[in-house]
């Protein structure tokens, strides 16, 4: 059996057993496996990898390992342009759209609150998630590593935390989204875009006590749900502030 020496950097260590983290790992192999196969055999999905150096030289996933190779594997550089090297995941998706795994409903609603296009359904199957990601150019968000190892998947992220608010922080930080946040522009229930609606046009739908004190209303273009600045509004502002770790502006767009 031949041996190559592989080290993973930064958050890629999250995928490794504790004994293998932040150190060089010996990888035994027969034949000449591709770098991608070796990386995923050690537990790291290829979509989490942006740069592979073998003996100090940048290579792509199809590079075939040789005995004694020293391999350095780096995560996605969302804010750093490494175009002169062999970037494995292409350009960052600046107009970012997501598809959240079936068990990430609370995360999906938080991302919609921040204004991000986030597809989600409680009954999503793995094949449906992958197909939608490929066909619509959506980034897969999941806690299932195996989905991200599928060869057709090009953009995905393995959610580390089990806490929805922390999960949202992860996504914002991982994809460098803080400057793209547009709160209260999407329906938290169905992901549709919200648009202003004249109070008189929907007066029959407004509870009398609300109509007496609120003049601004928004309606979802997809599911027709009505929104206004209600008692939940300060709580939602606080959630946004916690996700972004900054103070929200009192001039934010009103809703709910």
Q: Given a cut of 80, is residue 80 above it in pLDDT?
A: no
The pLDDT > 90 percentage for the chain reads 80
Q: What is the pLDDT of residue 57?
A: 94
- Report the pLDDT value the prediction gives residue 256, as an integer from 0 to 100: 38
pLDDT tens digit sequence for 144-190: 999 999 999 988 999 999 999 999 999 998 888 888 899 999 999 99
Predicted confidence band of residue 96 (pLDDT cuts 50, 70, 90) = confident
**What was the pLDDT predicted at 249?**
39
Instruction: State mean pLDDT over 232-236.
Output: 93
Backbone angles phi, psi at 125, to 5 degrees: -100, 155
pTM: 0.76
Strand residue runs (E) in 13-164: 25-29, 49-54, 57-59, 70-75, 97-100, 117-119, 139-142, 156-158
Domains of the chain by range and CATH? 2-75 (3.10.20.30), 97-180 (3.40.50), 194-244 (no CATH)
So what's the pLDDT on residue 255?
A: 40
Per-state percent for the chain, helix, strand, coil, to nearest 5: 30, 20, 45
**What average pLDDT does the segment 73-84 reach?**
67
Reported confidence tier of residue 253, pLDDT bands at 50, 70, 90: very low
> How high is the pLDDT of residue 91?
52
């Amino acid at each position: 059996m031949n041996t190559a020496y592989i080290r993973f950097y930064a958050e890629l260590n999250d995928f490794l057993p504790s004994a293998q983290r932040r150190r060089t790992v010996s990888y035994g192999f027969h034949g000449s496996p591709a770098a991608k196969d070796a990386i995923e055999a050690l537990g790291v999905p290829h979509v989490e990898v942006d740069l592979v150096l073998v003996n100090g030289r940048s290579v792509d996933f199809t590079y075939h390992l040789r005995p004694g190779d020293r391999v350095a594997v780096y995560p996605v550089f969302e804010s750093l342009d490494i175009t002169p090297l062999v970037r494995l995941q292409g350009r960052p998706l600046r107009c970012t759209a997501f598809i959240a795994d079936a068990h990430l409903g609370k995360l999906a609603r938080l991302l919609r609150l921040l204004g991000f296009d986030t597809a989600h359904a409680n009954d999503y199957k793995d094949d449906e998630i992958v197909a939608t990601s490929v066909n619509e150019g959506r980034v897969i968000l999941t806690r299932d590593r195996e989905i991200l190892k599928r060869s057709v998947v090009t953009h995905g992220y393995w959610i580390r935390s089990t806490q929805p608010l922390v999960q949202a922080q992860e996504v914002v930080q991982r994809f460098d989204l803080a400057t793209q946040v547009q709160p209260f522009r999407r329906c938290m229930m169905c992901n549709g875009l919200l648009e202003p609606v004249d109070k008189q046009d929907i007066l029959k739908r407004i509870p009398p006590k609300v109509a007496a004190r609120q003049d601004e209303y928004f309606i979802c273009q997809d599911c027709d749900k009505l929104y206004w600045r209600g008692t939940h509004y300060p709580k939602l502002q606080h959630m946004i502030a916690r996700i972004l770790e900054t103070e929200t502006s009192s001039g934010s767009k009103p809703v709910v």
